[in-house]
Amino acid sequence: MPTITAFKNDFEGLLGRGIAEPELQSLLGLCKAELKSMDEATGEMRIELTDTNRPDLWCIEGVARQMRAALGSGIGDYGFFGSPPGADRRIVVDPSLMGIRPFIAGFEAEGISVTSESLKGIIEVQEKLCEAYGRRRKSIAIGVYNSGKISWPVNYDAVNPEGWSFTPLGCAVPMTLREILQRHPKGVEYGGILAGLGEYPILYDAEGLTLSFPPIINSRDLGEVSVGDASLFVEATGTDQRQVIHALAIMAANMADRGGRITRCTVDYPFDTPLGRSVATPCDVAGHVDLDPALLSRSLGIEAGPEEIADALVRYGLRVERPGQALRVYPPPFRADYMHPCDAVEDFAISRGFAAFEPEMPSDFTVGGLSREADFEDAARELLAGFGFEETFSNVLTSTDALRSKMHIPPGGVVEIENAMSATFAAARDSIIPCLLDVESVSIKAAYPHRIFEVGEVCAIERKGGAVASATRVAAAALVADGRVSFSDLHSYLALLLHYLGADPVLAPCERPFLIPGRAAEILARGRKVGVMGEIHPAVLDDWGVKTPAAAFEIDLTALMAAVQSGTAAES
Amino acid sequence: MSEGTNGIETLHPLEIRALRVFDRNPGMELNESQIKSEGGFEEGQERRAIELLKTRGMLVQTREIKDPVLQLTDFGRSQLEEGPLEARILELIPETGITQSEIREKPGLDPESVGPSVGTLKKLGLIDFHEGGLMTPVGNKGIGIGILRKTMELASEWTPIVILGGEVGEAGLKFVEEKSRKRGKGNALFSIKEKVERHYAATDSGRTAMAALKSSILTGDEITELTPDMLRTGSWKGRQFRKFNLGLSPPRVNVGRRHPYRVFLDGLKRKLTSLGFKEMRGSLTQPEFWNCDALYMPQFHSAREIHDIYMVKEPGYCDSAAEPFRSRVAAAHSCGGQTGSRGWGYEFDEKRSRRNLFRSHGTVLSARTLASGPDVPGKYFAVARCFRPDKVDATHAPDFFQIEGIVLGRDINFRTLLGLLKLFAVEIAKAPEIRFTPAYFPFTEPSVEVHMKHPVLGWTELGGAGIFRPEVTLPLGVSVPVIAWGLGIDRMAMMALGMNDIRDLFTRDLNRLRQSRMPVL
């Protein structure tokens, strides 16, 4: 979730009035935001935004704008979204970009006095949009330039990485695009986005001077913004046209809020795009929804008339038309989150304040209950605890080492994590006995005897025909560790447990690498294999660092439950 | 019990007997064997009495003396009655002399042992050898025989070595040396062990207790343990029962019990079922379709990135989701389908939705339930283990639990959603004061976060909730409004169990587990 940093006096300037902390706290609810910190001395505040679908709020301009609407002074005038684009302000796209980074949008902003503070603000918004909304510049990258130096039109082209060079920001000498990716810090950081491409995007003006190498770095000649610059050119490039235009719309609205006069630019595509071949940007990304007052009332559990609804929506920065019974709701042009009338319902509720809604108990009668698995699990747990076993509780994630090599089981057959963060938690357990041995390995100082058990989910790989699937099963395992441990001690508990659960067990000899040969048994209940039991092999105990003999059993409760069920059915 | 009796009514009969020994020897320091013989204790009883009295502070250990003590070996004990072979051989040597081979022929002697024993007698200076292999006793052989026998008897009584010299002289000590257990020599008679002798004296409180004992009616014959025999014969009648000392800490026992964290989760489940919720279960691994797509999380959503979700390595993909869900969900994403929405407006990737992952939230079970013909009205919950790639630390476990659920019904609306959350706050978190704030989840609209005023933690987030978007419910075949809710339980569990590290919820150390209390529910 994005967190932004801003200064209180800058914020109050955008808001149009002073604001005390308690009021700020409560108004931040409008933006689904929370004040994380406020430095009384410097006025620096950190605000966390939670709405990942409202990037227009990820900046101090957006937060202030949302509050202005609620305070009655309106969100501001964004009429430029509908004004004709500047005649010569054109961006020409080359066909070669189609498979590389096809989309671009841009505008010019005049009349902003660039101060060191506003520059900081511009960069902060730009970064938030590129990093969080643009997925680390993959789908959106934004560049800001001193437009006074640019000769129009601007060309968006793709070039050979070795065949083009310019001086990037932060450097003194020209470098080829290839060198930038290899040596420039931003090239190293973001170069991965261009991996595998034969040609790289480049933005240059009518004179052939480089503006930038999107999405990596601006040029030092045209792409450096300094305090005192009077007019700026802002562009966004990317892979998703709607996102590109949306991000640019937010940049434009922010600059308008700071006094900028926005001139739209026209992008000329040599190929078809969802918005056509000639696209004036920024453009309205919001659309509209038709809201039925009855739907709103039903959704919120209130009675609200059209006037009341319209009034609250306007106080949330929306424009409302009333062509008939339904309300036509227009979000501001830089909000792309409206997909369904329910979005307007929520905005109405936020505008009214959640405190205005009296909680009401749902009146429907329903029957509650645990799942059959849980009932069966709980029965097993209850019995084992009653037998004197202590219940342990482990994570499902563990290491393949614990499940295989430490159990002397050949590798394979484990559900592993593709993108594991550490080898310690890289696979889901397929058995609980390793978890119990893990407990034993760190509990050698706890007074013996140890009688422990765990009942819980395990992940098994199942093969049906040729297909491989992972299935979740419930297992119950118990382990006894003591100076003297015998197979028959544990056998008594097993027999009693299964008897009480409804299926007396039969043991059949088997071999398991982690059990002592001749002291390992497969557990059968009503003719089905439901588990395994035996004395743990000393070599396995050695590998776990367990110094005390141990015996264990593990039952597949999912299988046992099926066996018991089928038996009961047969008997009746 | 009055102060003046100094707790003597709780004295064990053995303690009373031991105290009386000290009472008969006022001011004296006594060692264990003295206490044992004077008190007429059976083996080991005196130790128990001394330990108990020490715990009460009535006796104190004054000295500890470690003495080498002469003992008989097993072989030695078997020879005790007959006397040592050396003594028996000496008996057979006349003043006139005899040869070894003649002795070997005497009945009752093991010919093999004669040689070494004769050697020992020579070393002890008890015999001399003459021409022709004749041996004769030196001096009065009766004295020699006496010394050998006496040494053996003293050994049988565990005599300290320091005392031994005075009793049997140089010859005896030499005999011990020759016949002690040494490497490579069988048939040793003696072994020397270190014996610890502890001395004790009565303390002031011991003396007070003795005085109190004298004036009391305690006899030392009080019943400690009522036996079936006493009940059968009625021998308990007319006798007193010893009163027990209730101040002693009980011995430690390890017993079976459920795990405290699971008890906490069981309590939540019980609460939810009592509120009319049915439990949902499901697989730990899920396709992206159910974990994300069905919940209207766009495929480009940041919470679906590789650093927020654990992917399954093998099997990486599963079969397509069943129809009509597959097509309806895909349509909802790309253009809204039949949901009245414009959709996210991107090209839905069907392959991606077949990708297997470790479920990242319990909401996946809600989506599955919606698609399987749920009850209307209906309430469902799941205590679901979930997985997210976080660095494991005090607030992040490798896998963790979420409590999530849904409520379906024609009367479901935003106010009943708030009512339900209020119910949870009161019934589950015991926090009557709550507030609601706007929130964002891709699958609900409106969305709300509920904060509660916790008696200890202050304002704390209890959970998130909302009403499922039509883009979620309609493709899954549900046309009534559905509340989706989730409660954060880690912090509640840690509070209830008195922990401040989430990893302690899953502690592997049995010692710590045995110390942990049950949760305060």
Assess whether pLDDT exceeds 50 at residue B4.
no
- Cβ–Cβ gap B356/A470 under 8 Å: yes
pLDDT of residue B277: 97
The answer to whether B200 faces chain A, any CB pair under 8 Å, is: no
Q: Which residues of chain A have pLDDT under 50?
A: none
Q: CA-to-CA distance for B167 and B125, rounded, in angstroms?
A: 18
Unique residue bearing structure tokens 């024993």: B117
Partner A, chain B 273-292, Cβ-Cβ below 8 Å: 273-285
Cβ–Cβ < 8 Å for B283, B289: no
- pLDDT at residue B1 in the model: 38
**Confidence band, pLDDT 50/70/90 cuts, at residue B267:** very high
pLDDT tens for residues B442-457? 999 999 999 988 777 7
Q: Rounded to the nearest 5 degrees, what angle is found at the Cα of B345, between the Cα atoms of B341 and B346?
A: 145
Q: Do B442 and A339 touch (CB under 8 A)?
A: no
Tell how far CA A439 is from the center of its chain. 34
The pLDDT-based confidence of B2 (bands split at 50, 70, 90) is very low
- Least Cα distance to A103 among A358, A226, A277 occurs for A277
A369 touches chain B (CB under 8 A): yes
Residues 314-343 of B with CB under 8 A from A: 314-316, 318-319, 336, 339-343
Residue B454 has a pLDDT of: 76
pLDDT for the residue numbered B521: 64
Q: What does the mean pLDDT of chain B come to?
A: 88
pLDDT score of B16: 87
Contact A366 B278 (CB under 8 A): yes
For residue A73, what are its two tokens? 């002074």
Decide if pLDDT at B191 tops 70.
Answer: yes
Which pLDDT band, with edges at 50, 70 and 90, does B5 fall under?
A: very low
For residue B375, the model assigns a pLDDT of 96
For the cut 70, the answer to whether the pLDDT of residue B509 exceeds it is: yes
Q: Are A234 and A107 in contact (CB under 8 A)?
A: yes
Task: Please give the residue of chain A at the shortest CA–CA distance from B333.
Answer: A339
For residues A35 and A19, the answer to whether their CB atoms sit within 8 Å is: no
Condensed to tens digits (0 to 9), the pLDDT of residues A519-566 reads 999 999 999 999 999 999 999 999 999 999 999 999 999 999 999 988
Write down the pLDDT at residue B6.
52
Q: Which positions 469-498 of B are in contact with A (Cβ < 8 Å)?
A: 469-471, 481
Beta strand A390-391 with A450-464: parallel, antiparallel or unpaired? parallel
Q: For residue B309, count CB atoms less than 10 angstroms from its CB and return exposed for 0-12, middle for 13-18, buried for 19 or more.
A: buried
Q: How far is A459 from chain B (nearest CA, A)?
A: 7
Q: Which amino acid is at A298?
A: R
Under an 8 A CB cutoff, do B470 and A340 touch? yes
pLDDT tens per residue, range B11-46: 888 888 899 899 888 888 898 888 998 888 888 888
- Are residues A300 and B423, on separate chains, in Cβ contact within 8 Å? no
What token pair was written down for B463? 């959970």
Write down the number of H helices and E strands in chain A: 16, 27
User: Over the stretch B99-149, which tens digit does the pLDDT of each residue have?
Assistant: 888 888 888 778 788 888 888 888 888 888 888 888 888 888 888 888 888
Distance CA(B280)–CA(B365), nearest Å, equals 7
Which positions in chain B touch A359 (Cβ < 8 Å)?
415, 418-419, 421-422
Say whether pLDDT at B280 is over 50: yes
Chain A residues whose CB is inside 8 A of the B443 CB are: none
Give the model confidence (pLDDT) of A82-109 as tens digits.
999 999 999 999 999 999 999 999 999 9
Q: Are B90 and B126 in contact (CB under 8 A)?
A: yes
Confirm or reject contact between B267 and chain A (CB < 8 A): no
B residues 436-455 near A, CB within 8 Å?
A: 436-440, 442, 445-448
Name the E strands within A8-63.
33-38, 44-49
Whether A50 and B280 lie within 8 Å, measured CB to CB:
no
Higher pLDDT, B289 or B238: B289
Amino acid at A324: G
According to the model, what pLDDT value does residue B196 have? Answer: 82
Tell me what pLDDT residue B3 has. Answer: 41
> ipTM for the complex?
0.92
Among candidates B351, B399, B379, which has minimal Cα distance to B280?
B379
Instruction: Decide if B262 and A391 are in contact by the 8 Å CB cutoff.
Output: yes
Contact A167, A219 (CB under 8 A): yes
| Residue B186 in this model has a pLDDT that exceeds 70 | no
Ranked by mean pLDDT, the top range of A404-413, B44-53, B213-222 is A404-413
CB atoms closer than 10 angstroms to residue B94 = 11
The span from the CA of B49 to the CA of B45, in Å, is 6
Question: What token pair was written down for A549?
Answer: 């003999």
- Residue B482's identity, in one-letter code, is V
